[in-house]
Amino acid sequence: MRDRHLKYLLMMPALLLVTATVIYPLGYAGIISFMDWRLSRSRVPTDFVFLDNFWRAFFDDPSFLNSLGVTITFVAGSAGGAVLFGLLIALLLARRGRGYSIARTVLVLPFAMSPALQGTSFRFFLNPEFGIFDAVLDTLFPFLAHVDWLGSSGWAMTWLILTDMWHWGPFLSLMLIGGLLSIPSDTLEAARVDGASAWTSFWTVVLPQLMPVLAIAFVLKTIFSFKMFDYVYLLTGGGPGESTSTMTYYAFRMGFTAYDMGYASAIAFVLALLLVVVSAVYFRLLFPRGEAG
Amino acid sequence: MRTTRRTLMGTLLTGAVAAGLVCGATLANAADALPYGLKAGKPYAGTKLTYLAPVAGQYEGHEARLKEFTDLTGIEVEFEFIPFRNLLEKILAIKVAGDAEPDLINYKDDWGPGLKDLFVPIDEMMAADKVTLDRYYPAHQLGVTYDGMIYGLPLRGHAQLMFYRKDLLEKHGLSVPKTWNELAEVAKVIKDKEGIGIGMYYSPKAAQNVAVWMNILWSNGGELFRDGKVTFNTPEAVEALKYYVALENDMKVNSEGAKSFEQYDGSLSMGAGQSAFFMGWWWHYGSRILGKNTTLTPEQVGFAPLPAFRGDESTTFAMSMPTAINVNSDKQEAAWEFLKWVSNPDLEKRNVIEKEKRNVIVALHRKNLMDEEVNAANQGLQMAAAGSLESSRIFPQLAVWPEVMQVLANAISDAVSNGADPKEALDAAAEQAQKLVDRG
């Protein structure tokens, strides 16, 4: 009896924390998304409008549909790119030794840096007049000398993805290094004895055994990519045009430029639903049926 | 009735005593009277106010002189500085929370219609203390007046000017352009010979491309709205956008990076010697075109009104940043005392002529813009801006304007960067904007 009460008591702090920081804001945003709350008219939500905000998003607002497409493009590019980049680093650094250990520690730095600082820095790096990235790329590839890196849709999206890859790739590589180092060495030795090349060993021995870690890294990165805001806000402002306007950026714009908190909440809620689906996949991968309990 | 000598003397004596008392009281009152209409007797002594302001040298100048206000009134003021880019978010958070602090809020004029229920109308306070808006230019008066009520006093404001490299124009025997076509021709010559062009900007970030396009639009006889209807896709508006786009894509007279540049980048480019022209707010002159980290000297930089598109006259765009009193503040009377002091023309003048610690150039009072001392300290910039401000207009006073402006900024950026047809881009933007206007 006492044990039963004790376990609830011990869980209470965590439950309260989750309720205050996750359930309450999510629930409140959910309620607001069904309401008319234009800050230019009232400081509090006014009328219940049922599905009006969602209807407007999907059937009467091309900018929202654009932001959905931009988000999917960004998620595909950044999640895929960051995992591949992380895998590449992991393959280079998955060795035992002091030098590798130091290199792995240094890898945490890009992830530890504030995205705001990175966004601002990359904007300077890419400046066509004095940016260091621009200068280096112009020297290496003279045919790119007059490219305005953030001035066309394709390049702006590319640099958003590359900036995000630079932030996440090293962190994901740490996950993958752990996975690589846990692969039994006898399987690799057996492949070598059978005369397999390094490439064949990678494809037939390493990759299959690394797949669970890769899948988790990919799904985790996907979830974070869906929430991309910082780099869009600092690097491109959603432009050129609306070509890099992600859903989070668009929700922010609707809330803080259009003063329409009800509509902004509806957009945020659609994003939250998308994340719930991706999270479900994530948990399914982490805890396959039969292992969860 | 006979008047005796005694009666006459008594009357004169009584009159003299009464006159003496009246004069004494008047002199005593005069000794107590404070400047700028501040209340005598320090009725709000001990009150502590908070003031939300963006980071800018001008406000730092006010903060540095606060002791004078505290000595006069006994009121203390704490400044809360926030980067301009985050100011609107902060104000909206204050509005939602219904906070009583800060007591005073500085904001951008086109945010006013959407925020006005957060601010106290100050018409009655102004009338009681004989403070009027006459001391400001019409554009700045309009920027604080919504639905016939005054909600703040303009503390910061900008006129648009064209900055140019005087030395390069002289070197190549060129005249200061007065029209956009002349500008394109002169810029082409300088770009061919010096490799630097106009520090133009088209990025939708912060929507500053709209302000440049609007100058061409107005000078071309176009309007953003007519009778509540969006009209920024008329032939005049399309022609204005085509021209603005052509500067970058066809005439190629801009410096590198214009497609992704915002206004800050344009002035930075000019300050770094990478652009020969820059069109934008005058405050850039004091800190980004000239300043500690730039390569230019005052002798190299000239300024003139923005060029005209049709005819000789250009209609430029002006903006202001008024300070208002928080409607939830419980210290509104003390806040009004501060507002009277901080908006006084003497303080503004000292801020722009005392250059030891900061190079402030922003002044709003008519008399300061025409003041010889002010102009001598700032290379005559204020006099040039005064001419521009006389015919300036402001953004439409609509609660949805900030979002309409962003829609327009995206359309302009799409036309220049992604090859969107200007007519189609403006048609789509107009449709989207009309929905926003109708929704209110």
B422 in reach of chain A (CB within 8 A):
no
Residue A228 in this model has a pLDDT that exceeds 90: yes
Considering only CB atoms, which chain A residues are within 8 Å of B402?
Answer: 257-259
Q: Is B262 on the interface with A (CB under 8 A)?
A: yes
Domains of chain A: 68-286 (1.10.3720.10)
Residue B268: enclosing H or E segment and its boundaries?
helix B263-271
Q: Give the pairing type, strands B160-165 and B301-304.
A: antiparallel
> For residues B275 and B282, what is the distance between their CA atoms, to the nearest angstrom?
16
Q: Does B252 touch chain A (CB under 8 A)?
A: no
Q: What pLDDT was estimated at residue B25?
A: 47
The residues near A43 (Cβ < 8 Å, ≥ 6 apart) are B95, B96, B98, B117, B118
Looking at residue B256, its amino acid is E
The whole-angstrom separation of Cα B333 and Cα A72 is 53
Q: Reduced to 3 DSSP states, what percent helix, strand and coil does chain A have, rounded to the nearest 5? A: 75, 0, 25
Evaluate if residue B171 carries a pLDDT over 80. Answer: yes
- Residues from chain A that touch B115, judged by Cβ atoms under 8 A, are 40
B82 contacts on A by Cβ (under 8 Å):
none
Looking at CA atoms only, how far is residue A266 from chain B in angstroms?
Answer: 17
Question: Quick check: B19 pLDDT over 60?
Answer: no
Spans of all domains in chain B? 48-157+320-388, 160-317+398-439
Closest CA to B304 of B284, B279, B287, B271: B279
> Would you call A230 helix, strand, or coil by DSSP?
helix
Taking CA–CA distances from A145, the nearest residue in chain B reads: B256
Are the beta carbons of B174 and B189 closer than 8 angstroms?
yes
Summarize pLDDT for B39-50 with one digit per residue, the tens.
999 999 999 999
Give the model's pLDDT for residue B15. Answer: 59
d(CA B74, CA A293): 69
Token pair 């049922």 in the structure block, residue: A50
Query: B300 and B285 in contact (C-beta within 8 Å)?
Result: no
> What is the distance in angstroms between the Cα of A162 and the nearest Cα belonging to chain B?
17
Contact B403 A257 (CB under 8 A): yes
Q: What are the backbone dihedrals phi and psi of residue B239, each rounded to the nearest 5 degrees, phi first? A: -60, -40
CA distance B87 to chain A (A): 11
Q: Considering only CB atoms, which chain A residues are within 8 Å of B260?
A: 126, 128, 148-151, 156, 236, 239-240
What pLDDT sits at residue B28?
47
| ipTM topping 0.95 | no
Local confidence band at B6 (pLDDT 50, 70, 90 cut-offs): low
At residue A48, the 3 state secondary structure works out as strand
A47 touches chain B (CB under 8 A): no
The shortest CB-CB distance from B413 to any of A41, A149, A240 is to: A240
Structure tokens at A197: 């090349």
Q: What is the pLDDT of residues B340-363, one digit of tens each?
A: 999 999 999 999 999 888 888 899
The nearest CA of chain A is from the CA of B415 a distance in Å of 8
Say whether residue B432 is in contact with chain A using an 8 A CB cutoff.
yes
Asked whether the bond before B102 is cis by omega within 30 degrees of 0, the reply is yes
Partner residue facing B203 (CB), from A39, A237, A257: A237
Distance between CA atoms of residues B381 and B241, nearest Å: 29
Q: What is the pLDDT of residues B41-94, one digit of tens each?
A: 999 999 999 999 999 989 999 999 999 999 999 999 999 999 998 999 999 999
- CATH code for the domain defined by B48-157+320-388: 3.40.190.10
Burial of A22 (0-12, 13-18, 19+ CB in 10 A): exposed
Using a CB–CB cutoff of 8 Å, tell me whether A39 touches chain B: yes
Q: Do residues B262 and B254 touch, judged by C-beta distance below 8 A?
A: no
**Average pLDDT score, chain B:** 90
> Looking at chain A from residue 7 to 26, which residues have their Cβ under 8 Å from any Cβ of chain B?
none
pLDDT at residue B1 in the model:
43
Contact status of A150 with chain B (Cβ, < 8 Å): yes
Please state the rounded mean pLDDT for residues B411-428: 95
CA angle A171, A177, A178 (to 5 degrees): 100
Does any CB of chain A come closer than 8 Å to the CB of residue B203? yes
Would you list the DSSP string of B150-213?
A: E--EEEEEE-EEEEEEHHHHHHTT-PPP-BHHHHHHHHHHHHHHHS-EE------GGGTHHHHH
Q: Does the beta carbon of A288 lie under 8 angstroms from any beta carbon of chain B?
A: no
Q: Are strands B149-150 and B145-146 parallel, antiparallel or unpaired?
A: antiparallel
Pick the range with the lowest mean pLDDT from B24-28, B204-208, B371-375. Answer: B24-28
Cβ of B417 within 8 Å of Cβ of A127? The answer is no
Q: What is the pLDDT of residue A293?
A: 39
pLDDT tens digit sequence for A90-149 = 998 888 778 888 888 888 888 888 888 999 999 999 998 889 999 999 899 988 888 899
Q: How far apart are CA B135 and CA B121, in angstroms?
A: 19
* Predicted pLDDT at B7: 60
Query: Which of chain B's residues have a Cβ under 8 Å away from the Cβ of A260?
Result: 403
Is B260 in contact with A149 (Cβ distance < 8 A)? yes
- Stronger pLDDT, B31 or B80, i.e. the higher one: B80
- In chain B, whose CA is at the least distance from the CA of A253? B403
The pLDDT of residue A2: 64
Alpha-carbon span B196 to B266, nearest angstrom:
12
Say yes or no: B85 contacts chain A, CB-CB below 8 A: no
What's the N-to-C CA distance of chain A in angstroms? Answer: 23
**SS (HEC) of A52-95:** HHHHHHHHCCHHHHHHHHHHHHHHHHHHHHHHHHHHHHHHHHCC
**Shortest CB distance from B269 goes to which of A129, A237, A243?**
A129
Query: What single letter denotes the amino acid at residue A215?
Result: A
Are B204 and A258 within 8 A, CB to CB?
Answer: no
Using one digit for the tens of pLDDT, what is the confidence trace for B219-267?
A: 999 999 998 899 999 999 999 999 999 999 999 999 999 999 999 999 9
Asked if B365 contacts B382 with a C-beta cutoff of 8 angstroms, the reply is no
Helical (H) or strand (E) element with A2 = helix A2-18
In whole angstroms, give the CA distance from residue B440 to residue B434. 10
Q: Which of B88, B260, B413 sits opposite A241 (nearest CB)?
A: B413
Q: pLDDT of B98-129, one tens digit each?
A: 999 999 999 999 999 999 999 999 999 999 99
User: With bands split at pLDDT 50, 70 and 90, how would you rate the model's confidence at A279?
Assistant: confident
Q: In a 3-state reduction of DSSP, which class is residue A183?
A: coil
Could you tell me the CATH superfamily of domain B160-317+398-439? Periplasmic binding protein-like II (3.40.190.10)
Chain B residues with CB under 8 Å of A256 CB are 88-89, 92
**Banded model confidence at residue A40, pLDDT cuts 50, 70, 90:** confident
Among residues of chain A, what percentage have pLDDT more than 90?
54
- Is A62 in contact with B428 (Cβ distance < 8 A)? yes
Q: What is the mean pLDDT of residues B27-34?
A: 57
Query: Is A60 within 8 Å of chain B by CB?
Result: yes
Question: Rounded to whole angstroms, how far apart are CA atoms B79 and B70?
Answer: 14
Q: Kindly give, in sequence order, each residue whose CB lies less than 8 Å from that of residue B253, ignoring residues fewer than 6 positions away.
A: B183, B184, B187, B188, B191, B197, B198, B247
Tell me if chain A has a CB within 8 Å of the CB of B115: yes
Q: How far apart are CA B425 and CA B261, in angstroms?
A: 20
Q: B57-64 and B66-73 are packed helices; what angle lies between their axes, rounded to 10 degrees?
A: 40
pLDDT at B373 over 70: yes
A76 CA to chain B: closest CA distance, Å? 22
- Residue B316 sits at the vertex; the CA angle it makes with B249 and B240, to the nearest 5 degrees, is 35
Contact with chain B for residue A189, Cβ under 8 A: no
What pLDDT is recorded for position A289?
65
